[in-house]
Amino acid sequence: MEKADVMGIMQAIPYLTRMPVNHMWIDYDREADVLYLTFSKEPADDTEIGDDDILFRYKGEALVGITIIRASQRLKG
């Protein structure tokens, strides 16, 4: 990992720390180009497909995760 990579991560901190969750797990599957944001250890029981192939994962009424397809093609830095 290069210093520039770390600086990119640092730019995301204000957005990540404003998330209304106590815990967050982030996984990126480079081969599939899918970014997973998980907010709960509870598995989802429903999925809503939003705009631009973003999946919102729910356990009851609670948002427990977001899946972003084609993640590397989103915002270019």
pLDDT grade for 76, boundaries at 50, 70 and 90: low
Beta partners for residue 57, in sequence order: 47, 65
Structural domain contains residue 9: no
Give the global pTM: 0.83
Q: Is 65 exposed, middle or buried (0-12, 13-18, 19+ CB in 10 A)?
A: buried
What's the number of domains the chain is made of?
A: 1
Q: Indicate whether 2 belongs to any domain.
A: no
- CA distance readout (Å), 70 to 11, 12, 17, 34, 44: 20, 18, 23, 6, 21
Q: Would you state the pLDDT for residue 4? A: 80
Structural domain containing residue 37: 22-77
pLDDT tens, position by position, 12-71: 899 889 988 999 999 999 999 999 999 999 999 999 999 888 999 999 999 999 999 999
Domain-embedded: residue 54? yes
4 part of a folded domain: no
Alpha helices by DSSP H, listed for the chain, are: 3-17
Residue 71: per-residue pLDDT:
93
